[in-house]
Amino acid sequence: MEEAKIQKLPKKYMNPYLAGVLLGIVILLSFYLTHEGLGASGAFKRGVAKVEQIIIPSHVQSDKSAFKHYVTDGKDPLKNRLVYMIIGVFVGGFLSGAVNNRLKLKLEHSPKITSRKRAIAAVIGGALFGIGSAFGRGCTSGAGLDGLATLATSGFVVVGMIFGVGYLVAWFFRKLWI
């Protein structure tokens, strides 16, 4: 029993170029098999639409909601491939964490800031991403990666803006990270 208690060290991360090629093959297969690429934000939008459908159906079915098209004719917003994909992302992430000894409950932050400060930054950053990915019609995956893979103008513009603005403002938020 003692052996099981010995903490195993996390394994090294995969070579980024190998990971990139594998991820590219996954994107390619996704297009080949289902005519669409990857996506992450869409599932959460649909989750929100589902909750709204239950608690404030009059709102989400009206023109006042951005998610009207998810629920027209009583459709179930969760009956969509992106919902299954995000479940897969959780499962796949967990599997890799388990295989590589990285499963650990932890609030990760720079040693120069407190957990509290990191938590506040994470919730603000998350909220901005929620609003931004709604305007951008997808996030780094659905608008960005898929967009670059299909050479869509929207993808290049969104990726250019995410990283361009990121670099522009990084200096102001450097104390959160370095």
User: Interface residues for other proteins in 14-53 (CB under 8 A)?
Assistant: 14, 16-17, 19-38, 40-41, 44-45, 47-48, 52
The dihedral through the CA atoms of 106, 140, 42, 131 has a sign that is: positive
42 and 138 Cβ atoms separated by less than 8 Å: yes
Name which position in 75, 112, 164, 175 contacts other proteins (CB under 8 A): 164
Residues found in the chain: 178
Contacts 24+ apart (CB under 8 A), 127-135: 129/41, 130/41, 130/44, 133/41, 134/41, 134/45, 134/66
> By CB under 8 A, is residue 112 in contact with other proteins?
no
40 and 141 Cβ atoms separated by less than 8 Å: yes
If the CB atoms of residues 1 and 8 are measured against other proteins, the closer one turns out to be: 8
If the CB atoms of residues 5 and 12 are measured against other proteins, the closer one turns out to be: 12
Give the SS3 label for residue 14: coil
Closest approach of other proteins to the CB of residue 12, in Å: 9
Count of residues that interact with other proteins, criterion CB under 8 A? 121
If the CB atoms of residues 1 and 18 are measured against other proteins, the closer one turns out to be: 18
- State the residue for tokens 């969760």: 78
Closest approach of other proteins to the CB of residue 8, in Å: 14
If the CB atoms of residues 2 and 108 are measured against other proteins, the closer one turns out to be: 108
If the CB atoms of residues 6 and 78 are measured against other proteins, the closer one turns out to be: 78
Closest approach of other proteins to the CB of residue 141, in Å: 5
Residues 140-159 that bind other proteins (CB under 8 A): 140-159
